Each structure stands twice: as structure tokens, then as C-alpha cells.
Structure 1
Amino acid sequence: MAELKLIILTYGQFYRRHIGLLLLFFIGFSLGAALLTAIQGLNQEAGKRYQQTTALIANPVTHFVRPVLGENRLSNEVWSTLRATGFTQAQPVLEGIVETANQRTLALRGVNLFQWLTQDTQGTESSVATIDNRHTGFDRLFNTVYIDPKLMQRLNVKNGKITLQVGNTLRTLPVSELPGVGMTLLMDISLADQLLMADGQISYIEMSGLTRSQHAKMTILIGNDARLEAAQEQAFDALSEAFFFNLQALALLGYVVGAFLSFNAIKLAYNARAHLQQQMWVLGCQRSALIKALVIELTLLSFFAAMLGALLGAALANALVMDVSATLRGLYQLDRSFVVNLDSSMIASGFILNIFVLLGFLASQSARLSTFLARVKWLMFALAICTASYLALTANTKISALLLCVCVLLLFFFITPPVVKAVFKLPWPTQNPIIHWLKADSLVQLPALLSSVLAILMAMGAAVGMQIMVGSFSDTLDTHLEKRLSADLYVRPDQNIQALGAKLRELPEVEKVGVYWSANSELKTSKNRIAVDVMAFGATASYNQHLTLLNNKAPTSAVFEKNKNGVVGCLVNEPALLQYSLKVGDVITLKQHINTLTCQVRAAYFDYGEQGLNVVVTTTVLLSSSLNYTEYGLSLWLKPGSDVDTVAEYIQKEHQLDSQQVIANQQFKRFAKQLFGKTFYVTQALNLFIMLIALFGMWVSFLTLGRGQLQPMAVLQTLGVTQQQLLGAKVLQAALIILTTLLLAIPLGLCLGWVLLTYVMPIAFGWTMAMTLDWLQLGLFSVLVFVLALFVSALPLIKLTRSAVADNVAKL
């Protein structure tokens, strides 16, 4: 034990003398682990969002009592009945939208704040003691709006008050900070009822700790008045799965780039410690003790790197959580806000990956293993080609699509080192001795630079691939929106929509008036129940010309006609085929409470941005089905030559509508593009972070090569080579290595982009689209990365070549 202790102390002294190596090790593993744990934290907290109630009571929600399909609210009598029957854990929630005095729209939630007087909440800010100190009475408690500090900053709330629009009047309410509320306003349900004018109705009821026997009893009790849903069956969990899967894959890529960065520090530490290890062996240290000390050292370093990475990841996740939440609410029906807290599983995942990477490095130092890998390298290359070809033909799951991406990366990993070496092995049309020295020196230095070269290759390839996917989606979305939002004006009155539609049809400037009706329903399959949105835009196929079928044609009247069995036709969106396994010709029965609608799938249409199952029928069919539906608004196509602004102004004045209720075509498209643009906000942030790690790794690589360059540079300086010539040669060397790597990274990015669009996008999201390339943007991005990589590589070289000959000789 004493021997082991002395060895560990010796290792500690080594790191004290080489603090830079220790920092590089931690930076590499911590930055990579930070990306991984940030996404893991977001995903984990999203999955645990029901661990506390809407009122922030630490009591996990297991079920929801929601209105029957086709209705938006529950009668308060349902809650009263449940409480009277003994379900004391039932708590009502009222949700809605309010406007501030400056016409900013905000979401609010009303909860039973009496709970705060009997149970402590999850956050210390809202504990009972704090409430008693902050408020002087019940009246103040139940008339206060609670806002997250981050949202309060965005709203620029001053003087502790907020003014909200209630009908035609303004109401000013006191505000209190409450961390963890997210992007919604939290208040007592009585205050929410007043602001929303809900007349005692509620949105849903939260149930905690519902047992199996209670579940059966409650199902009978609520009967046909409401629906009982399990918390884990909410739409968000299914819709957001692909979103988090892609982020996790990208974060894992970032971790690998960070691991390449750490390899440089590990190699340098390993080589610097070789003499120390030999000395301890000569002094009598047992091999078993040295191995134990090494295991302890690697374990401790991995743990502390994972701890630091988890802390950075939690901070990164919380920096992104507000924007991520906005995206998840807009596109994936997120119904809760969440805060990412440091979790032991985040540390454990980083620790395990760090251990595997370190063990892999130690294994790579084995001469026997290196010889074996050199022999089977091309066999593995052939195996990777065969695997990639097989997956390209058969991939139909997210995992197989991800494995195809991995195979593509591995293929370029095999190709890159020989190609970079070939650049310096090929004959150059010059007899300059410095150039010839440069070629020979490059072949010697390339093995040490290999990890950084591969890191740049991976980061650049991933960035190009993601850029191609985002660009293709953006171009496809632009084309899609041009057709989908083809009406000149969109009108959304609060009431009397059909009467307003009849009046607008009489205007001489109006050519056609369509509607937007929507009914919530369910499709029961052998495995589960699928939520279905039944939509109608008009009585005939002419009102559905804004939809583009998968054959790039518009729907015809034949699509909606009855077949010989009297079953009407309907359209489904593309995800219905790719995500929910429906086929053209299938007869489906959609159920809403006690009402049903049966139709035959005649065709499918493109529906970018939507992952749920949508069905389109005519208004006539929807009316005859007796499904409860919601009328959202009207679409107006104007006659040629009509002025859109003039018509919009007339409609606003004549029918007393504001500018938010009469929206022009371009304004609607701009809003839609902004919403979908947020989808890739986190992806682009992660890409930038990965590229920065790779550039840092390139700087570290050239920094750590400094000592190995002293002898040859001292010899060259002694022979009369000037500092400027040396610097020029070394910068040329770095430029050629970086340029060759980037030229390989572009086809890698093209391959990854093709895989993402051909496999990942249809499998994960249910959309198909063509790959489009913006060569100018790609070229500018490549030039920018080249300049930055050359800059960070040149910094250590400048310092190295400025050294005097005597200094270089003295350091040998």
C-alpha cells in the first residue's frame, strides 16, 4: 500500500510540473461531455416534466382527466364530483392565452394555490415561509402573477406589475418572481378564470398516485363526460422523440471530436511519462503496483472530467432551455416548462465514455495491437463498404440510419490519412531544399497530427451535412409554403365565422372564400390509439388546391367521391404513410367520443413541419359525421388586380377586427418560416460548438509538436535558413494539411447530407425532400474554416520560429 501511495504521489507531482497537460486533458473531455450531458439533460428533464404538478408541488402526476374529443374545456362539476367521491389528489388546471397592454401574447396557467398553504413546493422561492413573508394576506396571494425571472427580463417588467387585457378593459396585477415556471404565467385558478372569462370551466385535472383500482373506479365515474389519460401517453413524447434523437447523435459526435482533442494531451503525457515509468521500474516498483496506480489515475481523471463536463452541460442546457422550450411547444406540443438540474446519470454517462476512450488509447499503444490493425486495416475498410451498402438498401429504423452515418464516417477515416500522406509523397515541380525538407518533415509529423486532422474532418463534415439538410429543408419549405399559403388574406374572427364568410363572399374583390375547420379524433390500431386531426377547407376539391399530393399534383374531385361501397374518400399527410404505416386504399374509422367518421385513403400530400397524423375531408363530410369541430378562420382569394391592403383595411373597419385577425399572405409565411427556423436553432449551436472544439484541437496539436521541432529547426537555422523562410515553410505545411482535410470533408458532408435527407428525415420525421446545394454558401463556409484553422495553427508556429538558434539548441 505504501508503494502504491508513493507512485500516486509521484504521478501527482508530474501533473503539478505539467499543469498545461492536465488542463488540456480536462478541456477535451469536459467540452465533449458538456455537449452530451446538455442534450441528455434536456431530454431527461422533458421526460420527467410530470414529476411535479403545475402548481410546482413535488408530487408526480400520473394521469390527466381531459375533455372528450371535440371539446376544449371541462365542467367544474367533474372536479367537484371527483373530490366528493374521495379523489382528493385531483387538482384542476385552467390554461389560456392573454394579451399584455402592448399586445404581446402570453400563455397562462391557473392552479389551486391553496395547495401552497398545506404543501411545500419544489422551489424554495415559493415555499410556505417565503409566501407568508412576501404576502400580507390571502387576497394578495391569490391576485398575484408568478413569472420566471428569465421571462420577466424578456418582458421588461418594471415596478413589480404587469398590465393584461381582459375583454375591452386593462387590468394591472402585482408580479412575483418564481423560478421554474418557464414561458407561462402562473396564478391562482380564480384569477385565471377572471382573465380568461372561463365561467368556471377548466382545461384538465391532474391526478397524482392513481392506483389500478382507482383507475377503474374513475373510468366508471367520469363515464362519457371526460377522458382519462396516462401521463406517459401524451403527444409530446412521441412527436419529440426524433428531435432529441438527432440532437443526441450530434452531441455524441461532439464528444468524439472532444476525445480527439484529449488524445493529444494523453499522447504527450504518455510520452513524457515514459522515462518516469522506466525510472520507477528500475527503482523496484512492482508492475502490478504501477498498473493499479495507472487505473486509479485514469479513474480519478475521468470522474473529475465527467463532473466538470456535467456542470458545463447543465449550464449550456439552461442557457438553451427557453428557446428549446419555445420550439418544442410550437412544433411538438410541449405542455410543461422545465429546468435542467445536475443529475448523477449525467456524470455517470460522461464518466463511462471517458473510461472507454482512455482504455482504447492504452490499447492503441500496444505494439501487437498496432501491428494487427495495420494488417486488417483494408479488410476493415472493405467490411465498412459492405456494411454501408447493406444499410443503404435496408435501413428503415433510426438506429440503422445512424449506423449508416457511422459507416460513412469510418470510410472517410480510412481514406483521409493515406490521402494526406500522398500529398507529400507525390513529386513536386521544385528543387528547393526547404520544400524537400518540408515534405520529409510532414511525413514525420503527420502521425502526431492525425487525431486533429480527423477531428477537423468530422466536425467540418458534420457541419456541411447539417448545412445541406437545413438548406434543403428551408428551400423545400419555401416552395411548400408558396403553394400551401396561397390565399391572399387569412381572417380569424372570434365568433360568427360562417356569417362573416357569407358576407365576405359578396364583396366584388373576393373570388373565393375557404374555411379551416378542425376536429380532434382517434384512430384505433392493433397496437395503440393514434391522435388524428381531421381538417376541412371547403365543400369541393377546388378549396384544396393549396395541397400538393406526392405525385406533385393538386387533388381532384375524384379523391373525395364515394366508392362503390358508399365510403367517402379522404387525404392523409405524408407522415401517415411513413410514420403510422397507413397505405393508399386503406379504409379508416376515426372516432370522437360516440361519433365516428369512416373514409378511404385515396392519396397523400406533402405536409412539411407536421409529424402528427392529419386527414383532410370536405366540409360536407365533416358536417354529416356529427364530429365536434372548431372553426378557426377563413381564407380569401382575391380577384386579379385587387389591392390586398385595401381589402384588409376594409374588412378590419367594417367587421371591427384588429390587425392580428386579418393577416396578409406574406405575413403568414414569415411567421411560419420563423417557427420552423427555430427547429434547427439548437442544431446550429451544437455544430458551432463542435467546430470550435476541433479548431482548439488543431491549435493544441501544433502547440504540442513544438518540442519535437526544436532539433530540426535548430539545424536549419544553423545552415542559414532565416526565420521568415522557416515560418513560411511551416505555414505552408499546415495549409496543405488543412486544405487536404477540408477537401475531403466536403464530400464527407455531401454523403452525410444525402444520408440525413434520404434516410434520417423520412424515418425520424416522416418527410421526403430533394437535396439542394448552395455552392456559394458552402464555398464561403469552407474558406472561413480554412482561414480560422490556419490562423490557430500558425500561432504556435510563429512563436516557435521566432526563437533564436542558441535558444533552440539550449532546449534540446
Structure 2
Amino acid sequence: MNIKAAIANSELYLVVKTQLAEYWQNPLLNIGFIVSLAIATSTLLAILMLNHASKQQYQQADTRLGAAITYHIRAKQGQTVSKQDFAQLRKQGFSNINPVLSFRKKLTNGKWLTFKAMDLLALSISKPQSFDSINVLLPQPYGKNLGISGLQIMLSDGRLLPLRQITKADWGMTALLDIALAWQLFPELKDFSYLLVAEISAEGVLRLEQSLPEHLTLQKIDSLQQRQGFADALHLNLSALAVLGFIVSVFIAFQAANQAWQKRSELVSQLRLFGVSFTTIRLALLLEAVSLIVAASVIGTFIAVALVSVLLPLLGLTLNQLYQLSVSGHFDWHWRYGLWSLLISACAVLLSLFKQVKRINNPHLFFTAKPVNSRLPTTLIGIVTGLLLLLFLLWPETDWHQVMVKYGLFLIATVGILPLTMHVLIKLFLLSNSRRYFRLRLIMQDAANQIGRRFIPLAAFYLALSTSIAAALMVNSFETAFVNYLEQQLDEDLYIRFEQQQQPRLEQWLQRHPQVIEYLLYRHAVVNVGQDRVAVTTYQSPRQLATLVLKTEQKILNQADRYTAMTQGAGCLINEQLALKHNLTLGNEINLSQASSQMSCQVRGIYYDYGNPRYEISLPLQLAQQQLSGLTARGYGVYFSQYNTEIKQQLLSELALEQSQLIEPAEIKKMALDIFAQTFILSQGIAAVLLVIACFGLFLSAKSLELARKADLFILSSLGYSKIELFIHMLAQWLLLVAGCIVLSWPVAMVLAEVLVAKVFPVSFGWSMPLVLTASPFVSGSLIGLSCLFVALVIPLYKLNGRGHW
């Protein structure tokens, strides 16, 4: 028994040594195979880690800084929350109320820093590693984003603030400081921004509402679950891109495994001829698979950790700006990440070695010489494609999970259409070219014969290119629509906020100033629609109505009478967020209620409201004054014949206004675009990585695929083809087949982009936008793909010809 075991062990040792020698003999192919497996692991693992880490952090932050905070007490427009208001409420027994200061200051580099001041004394004692009451506490990722370093912050007015940068800050992208320190550093801050109300019973809420002064209002804030509901859609979008990256990488690994197996099958047959048992060979191959899983897991984990360290602060910034979710941006390892890595690696290895596993478990098939077949199983591909398309048509769209799965099926199904597209394209080229151009027709005919052999790397490239163009279309649509929206919404030269006692003097100044063309008074109120609080705005002139970017509106025959038609009767305009929440369309009646009054109005238009997480309704001023109470003025939008900074200085000096009360729309536009640009960095980055991965796969495949048809190329060489001509012949075929990928990717990318802006955006952000089709995303995406492809193909093909293989 010991002798048999020794023989078996010696056989296994020799087979393993032979396998290692084969890896050493073909380093590029085998290293490429391992790297593609590692990339497949890291792409999916990085997003899983990113989503898990961010969710953990904003859940912990909500428990730590916002524990049981369910209400805010805020002042009505033109009013403030004074220290006397806070003291009076505390005297009445509301000890669970705490004050907050929220403000922004400009840095010397022109960027704005957001501050939040609250009582930090208890946290400074219990968590001294993260909090203190003598410094401005700044999350490290936020500091890097603003270009802040050192031990002090310098403001544009020359003030220096004591700084402590916190590595693990879970209060989001804002500077935190103790409220007493805030008054010391910023004596111009007179009152509170709002009051926080900790957990309170229903009876306590009623008593608090009755105790509030007339100028204060109690507002219920969104719970973590509500805000997380929107953020989950963003996490899903990232996961969908990661799964696509995993699929692309596995395609490449599958191709590399097949190429490696052509060499390996010869080696295995030789070992069998030398008397090595089938059991030993199978055990050695299984050990190789386990080693590949471990190697892919280790390398993929290192890549994933590096990616997450870079991407987590960016995701934290997006979550904080869009959903008010606090993420520290500091990555901590969790034991489950290692388990995920092993599982993903095992899945990638088994998928890429599917054919080999099948052959290992079938001894007869395992040792049967099987010719290399470059023909595609067209019947099987047609059946699978048909089934996927049928499933796509029947799949429901009840929620955003279903939408993502449905169009994922569509994208995978189009891969089956790719060979047909290539054949049609080549047929059209052949029909349009004269028979006299023999070499050109030979390239095309040879390319048609090689579609099956090159299908897998081309399919990976097609998936990556379609995704990249769809992401570019989405971002282009956003930029175009959002810039137009800002231009229309913020078309005034200056917006002036005022306190109630300042309004009479300000209005007199506007009436007599010679350069004022027109000024609009913005008013607002709050109503309830069902269980939702809805902000009410008003319009009182055609210019004010024109600031709303309407998505749909009732047809008006004479556009000159548009304002008159919109102000007649009980009609209203609602933002898209409210329409989506309550499933409202044009002509529907909507019921509004306040404390003691109710009214209804007919929906005459739905307008875009990008970036606003709240619900809003816009009424004609006269209707609002008749039906609603609590309608308060909030500011003036002013149009000047020639606006300059001198006018701003006049307002500051003559009316004793503060700098923060004068808002220039141009500055808001820049800030809004900067904020929303962060939203798509991750999507664009992952799409670009997919394209690079696909080109890497083509780089790995090019040399091996051409070597596999050495006999065909040798015939061309014997017919007088020079090395340069062979190089051009091979490169032209690849580029021709890639053209087929581009032709199919354009319409597919349009469908995916339309789904993103019209179906995924509403569940991700609460609003949609129109798809804007311009040539630049198609051309730039295709050119970038072709450039990467050209570099990926030129090097292996040129080396293949330059070393005299033929």
C-alpha cells in the first residue's frame, strides 16, 4: 500500500512539475489568463466592498450623530431661530432639543467649505479619538477634495481656523465644530440655523407644535430608511456595471483558457502515453484549478482594495450631496471580503474552465483528439438569443431591480446578434467592391471565416463599448439638460434674501434704482398631499412662469396666451418628483391640505426639478393668496440692464445687508455643476475600465489566435505575401470585425442610455431627464475604443510577423 502511494505521489509530483514548466514555456498566455481571472474577481469584489463599506458607515453615522432625530424646528422665510426661542422651549420642558449652526465660508483657493456646529462636549469626552471642542474637525477625504492641508484653515477674509483632520469621520462631507467655538470664530453668526428634535412621542409632537412661536415650524425629516431607499438604486447601478465587468473579464479568461488548453491537451496526451494514470492527471488538473482560484483571489483582492481606497471617498461625496448620507471615506477590512473574494474567484475559474472540467470528467472525451473548430454553433446561439429576447419581452418592470435585470437580458441577447451583424457588414463590403481588388476581397472573405474563432474577445469588446457609449450618452444628456435647466431657472442677475424688517427699504431701493429692469418676489408655503409635505411656490408674471422647465403641459393653441391660460381657474404645476410619487398625470386633480383648510387643483403641467429631493407644487399667485395661509415672501429675483459688482457693493453698504443674503446665480450654477459632476464619476470610470479590460483581452488573444491558423498564413506567405502585407492582412481583418461591433453597439447604447435617463434615474434620484442624442458620445467612444484596440493589436501582430514565424 505504501509503495503504491509513493508511486502515485511521485507521479503527481512529476505531472505538477510538467505543468509548471508549461506555464514557464508560455508565460504571456498563462499570465494573461491569471490576470484576466484576477480582474474578473477584483471588478465585482471592489463594488461589493464599496457598497457594503458605505452602507455600514452611513448606518453607523446615523446611529452616532443623528440617533433618533426625527424632526427639525426651522424658521419661516425671513425669520430666524433665536437664542431666546431655544431658551423658551427648554424652559417649557423640551430637553431633547439641541441647536445647530449650518453655514458656508469661502477659502483662499476660491472653494467653499461647509460648516456644521453643534454641542460636541459629550462626544469629546466619550470619543476623544474623533471629536474635540477646540478645533474644526474635517474629514480627511473632504480636506483633500478642497485642497486643505496642515494644521490651519485660511479663509478668503484672512481668518485662520484651528484644524484637526479626522481619518475616520462619519458625519459626511462637512466641517464639524463645537457651537461655542463657532461663536468664538464667527462672531457675525447671531442665531441658530435650526433645532434638532430627538426621539419624541406623538403626544410630545402635538405639544411641541402648540408651544412653537408663530415664526417657527416643525418639519419631519426623512428617516435613514427613506434616504437609503434612493441610495440603494445607486448601489444597484454600480453593481450592474460590476457584474458586466465580471462577464467581460470571464469572456476573456474563457478565451485564454481555451487557447492554453490547445497546448495542455498535447501535454496530457503525452503524459498518458508515458503511463501516467488518468486519476493522477485529473488530480493534478484539479490542483491547478485550486491554485488558480487562490492566485486570482489574492491578486484580485489587492486590486479591489486599491480601487476601493480611491473610490470610497468619491462615493461618500456623492451619497452625502445627493441623499444626505454620511460616509467617512476610510476603508476598513472585513472578514467577509475574503470569503467573497474566494467565491467570486472560484466562480470565475469554473466558468472559464467549463470545457476543461467537462473533459476531465469524461475519460473517453478527455483523450480523444479533437480538431480545432472555428465555426460558431449558429443554431445553439440562435436558440439562446431567441429565448433571451423572449424573456426580455416578458420580464416585468415593477421596480428598479426588475428594470436592471430586464435590460441586462437584452444586452446579453444582443451578443448573439453580433455574428450576424458582422456577416451582413462583410457582405455589404463585398457587394460594393469590384472583383478586381482580389486582396481586399480575400481579407473580407477570410475575416468572415474567422468570426467564430475571434467571437469571444470581440463579444467582450462589444459589451464594453456599448456600456461605455451608453455611459457617455447619459452624462452628455445630463450636462446638456442640466445646463439648460440652470440657465432657465437661474436667469436673474441677482437673488436677494431678506429678513421681514428689511423688505420695505429693499423694495424702495429696487423701485428707484435706474438699472433695475424687473424684479420678482418669490413666495412660498407648505401644504400636505396625502402624508407628504409639499413646498408651494408661486408665479405672477410670464417671466417667472418661464423659469420652470416643463416636461409635459396641456396643449395651448396660442402660445402668446400661455401665461393667461395657466393662471385661469384652479390649475397648478407640479414637479416631477411629486408626479412620480403619486402617479399624477396631466388633467388629474390633486388635493392640498393645511391645518384648517383644503383645496384642489388640476395638474396643467409637470416640470423638471433636477437635484431637489423634495416635492413641490407651483400655483398662480392670486389662487395661492385666496386658498392658502402662511404664504411668506422669501426673496427677490432682480434683472439689471447691466449688472456688475458695484451694484452688489451698493446693496451691502446702503441697506446693511450681509454678504450671504446676496446670491449670484452664476456662482450657484458652477457649484451645482460641480456637485452633480461627482454623481457620474464612478459610472464613467467603471465604463472606461471595462473598455480597457476588453482591449487587454484582445491583446492576449491576438497573437495566440493568429498562431493557431499558422498553416493558412504560411500559404499566403508562399504566394508572395511579405511580412508587412501579412501584418496588414491580419490587422485589417480585426478592424473590419470590430467595425461590426461598433455598428451594433450604437443602437444598443441608445436603448441602454434611454433606460438609464428615463427609468433608472427616477428610482435612483427621484427625477428623470430627456435623452439628448449628439454625435460626440458615439464618435469619441468609438475612437477611444479603436485607439485602445489598435495599440492592443499592433504589438502582438507585429511581433508575430517580426520574428520570422512564417
**Short-chain TM bin:** 0.7 to 0.9
Q: Distance in 1 between matches of 2:722 and 2:516?
A: 80
Aligned partner of residue 64 in structure 1, secondary structure? coil
Q: Can you list the C-alpha shifts for 1:429-463, whole angstroms capped at 9, x where unaligned?
A: 45788667756754565434222101111111122
Rate the CA distance shift 1:5–1:577 in 2: closer, same or farther, 3 A.
farther
Structure 1 spans left out of the alignment, 5+ residues: 132-140, 564-568
Bigger shift: residues 460-469 or 170-179: 170-179
Partner of 1:536: 537
Describe the superposition over 1:481-525 as per-residue Cα deviations: whole angstroms up to 9, x where unpaired: 343333343234577563324531443443432234455666444
Alpha-carbon distance, 1:49 to partner: 3.0
Q: Secondary structure at the match of 2:503?
A: helix
3-state SS of 1:142 partner: coil
- Specify the SS of the correspondent of 1:515: strand
Q: SS in structure 2 opposite 1:513?
A: strand
- How far apart in 2 are the matches of 1:160 and 1:93? 25
Alpha-carbon offset, residue 581 of structure 1: 2.2
Give the direction of change, closer, same or farther, for the CA distance of 1:662–1:82 in structure 2 (3 Å limit): closer
- What is the match of residue 514 of structure 1? 520
Amino acid aligned to 1:514: L
Change (3 A) 1:618 1:237: farther
Letter in 1 for 2:643: V
Equivalent residue number for residue 603 of structure 2: 602
Q: Secondary structure at the match of 1:49?
A: helix
2:368 corresponds in structure 1 to none
Q: Corresponding residue for 1:137? A: none
In structure 2, distance between residues paired with 1:430 and 1:332 = 63
The answer for the alignment partner of 2:176 in structure 1 is 186
Q: Deviations over 1:751-804 (max 9, x none)?
A: 333443454345655555544322255335423432331232111011111123
| Equivalent residue number for residue 586 of structure 1 | 589
- Quote how far apart the aligned CAs of 1:81 are: 9.3
- Structure 1 623/551 Cα, relative in aligned 2: closer, same or farther at 3 Å? closer
Q: Which amino acid aligns with 1:232?
A: L
**1:175 maps to what in 2?**
163
Decide whether the 8 Å contact of 2:527 with 2:592 is kept in 1: no
Equivalent residue for 1:36, pick from 44, 51, 56: 44
Match of 2:116 among 109, 115, 120: 109
Matches within 5 A, 1:57-456: 62-68=67-73, 95-100=102-107, 104-110=111-117, 112-115=119-122, 118-120=125-127, 126=129, 142-153=133-144, 155-157=146-148, 160-164=151-155, 171-181=159-169, 183-195=173-185, 232-234=224-226, 236-278=227-269, 294=285, 297-299=288-290, 301-302=292-293, 304-349=295-340, 351-364=342-355, 375-390=379-394, 395-421=397-423, 429-430=434-435, 438=443, 442=447, 445-456=450-461
Where 1:643 maps in the other structure, the secondary structure is coil
Per-residue deviation, 1:595: 7.3
Between the aligned partners of 1:82 and 1:686, the Cα distance in structure 2 is: 55
How far did residue 389 of structure 1 move?
A: 4.2
Scaled by the length of structure 1, what TM-score is found?
Answer: 0.78
Q: Aligned partner of 1:28: which letter?
A: S
Closer/same/farther in 2, CA of residues 152 and 376 from structure 1, 3 Å limit = closer
How far 1:699 sits from its partner (Å)? Answer: 1.0
Q: What secondary structure does 1:644 align onto?
A: coil
- Report how far residue 257 of structure 1 moved: 1.9
Deviations 1:160-190 (A, max 9, x none): 222458xxx8653332232133632233342
Q: Which amino acid aligns with 1:184?
A: T
Equivalent position of 1:491 in the other structure: 496
- Residue 44 of structure 1 aligns with an amino acid whose one-letter code is H
CA deviation profile, 1:246-286 (whole Å, cap 9, x unmatched): 33322322222222222232223333322344456567777
Cα 1:715–1:23 shift into 2, 3 Å: same
Does the 8 Å contact 1:63/1:230 carry over to 2? no
Q: What amino acid does structure 2 have at the position aligned with 1:614?
A: E
Looking at structure 1, the residues matched to 94 and 728 of structure 2 have their Cα atoms a distance apart, in angstroms, of 86
Name which of 471, 494, 511 aligns with 2:476.
471
SS at match of 1:504: helix
Cα 1:345–1:445, aligned 2, differ >3 Å: closer, same or farther?
farther
- SS, match of residue 772 in structure 1: coil
- 8 Å Cα contact 1:706-1:796 kept in structure 2: no
Return the alpha-carbon distance in structure 1 between the equivalents of residues 421 and 771 of structure 2: 28
- Cα distance in 1 between the residues matched to 2:581 and 2:762: 8
* 1:424–1:439 CA contact under 8 A, matched in 2: yes
Deviates more, 1:616-625 or 1:579-588: 616-625
Q: Distance in 1 between matches of 2:470 and 2:447?
A: 30
Are residues 142 and 506 of structure 1, via their aligned partners in 2, closer, same or farther at CA, if it must alter by over 3 Å?
A: same
Amino acid at match of 1:377: I
- Map of 2:643 onto structure 1: 644
TM-superposed deviation, 1:649: 6.0
Task: Assess if the C-alpha contact under 8 Å between 2:173 and 2:326 holds in 1.
Answer: no
Letter in 2 for 1:607: Y
Per-residue deviation, residues 107-154 of structure 1 (Å, max 9, x unmatched): 223455544665456xxxx27xxx9xxxxxxxxx53222333444445
Kindly tell me: are residues 199 and 261 of structure 1, through their superposed partners in 2, closer, same or farther at Cα, counting changes over 3 Å?
same
Superposed CA deviations along residues 215-239 of structure 1, whole A, max 9, x for unmatched, are 78987997867778785335x3234
Q: Which residue of 2 aligns with 1:689?
A: 689
2:721 and 2:665 map into 1 onto residues whose CA distance is 68
Q: Secondary structure at the match of 2:683?
A: helix
CA contact (8 A) 2:61 2:326 kept: no
Give yes or no for contact 2:464–2:690 (8 Å, CA) kept in 1.
yes
For the structure 1 residues 261 and 582, does the alpha-carbon distance in structure 2 shift closer, same or farther, using more than 3 Å as the test? same
Q: Which amino acid aligns with 2:381?
A: K
The SS at the match of 2:69 is: strand
Select between 295-304 and 783-792 the one with higher mean Cα deviation.
295-304
Separation in 2, partners of 1:349, 1:218: 47
Unaligned runs of 5+ in 2: 213-217, 366-372
SS at match of 1:106: strand
| Structure 2 CA distance for aligned equivalents of residues 78 and 11 of structure 1 | 82
The residue type equivalent to 1:274 in the other structure is S
The residue type equivalent to 1:547 in the other structure is L
Paired residues in the alignment total 758
Contact 2:254 2:351 in 1 (8 A): no
After TM superposition, the score normalised by the length of structure 2 is 0.79
Q: Contact 1:95 / 1:107 at 8 angstroms: preserved in 2?
A: yes
Secondary structure, in 3 states, of the residue corresponding to 2:573? Answer: strand
SS at match of 2:577: helix
Q: Distance in 2 between matches of 1:201 and 1:733?
A: 70
Separation of aligned partners in 2, 1:305 and 1:79: 61
- Alpha-carbon RMSD across the aligned residues, in angstroms, is 4.6
Deviation of residue 684 (structure 1)? Answer: 1.9
Give 3-state SS (helix, strand or coil) of 1:143's partner: coil
**Residues 312-344 of structure 1: CA distance to partner in whole angstroms, max 9, x if unpaired?**
334323323444444444433345544343444
State the match for 1:504 in structure 2: 510
Measured after TM superposition, the shift of residue 590 of structure 1 is 5.1
1: CA distance between counterparts of 2:629 and 2:253?
61
- Would you say the 8 A contact 1:146–1:178 is kept in 2? yes
Q: Which amino acid aligns with 1:498?
A: Q
When residues 710 and 267 of structure 1 are mapped into structure 2, their CA distance, relative to the original with a 3 A threshold, is same
CA distance in 2, matches of 1:480, 1:440: 51
Instruction: Report the AA paired with residue 795 of structure 1.
Output: I
- Between 1:503-512 and 1:795-804, the stretch displaced more is 503-512
Aligned to 2:619: 617
Is the CA contact 1:589–1:598 (under 8 Å) kept in the aligned structure 2? yes
Shift of residue 573, structure 1, vs aligned partner: 0.7
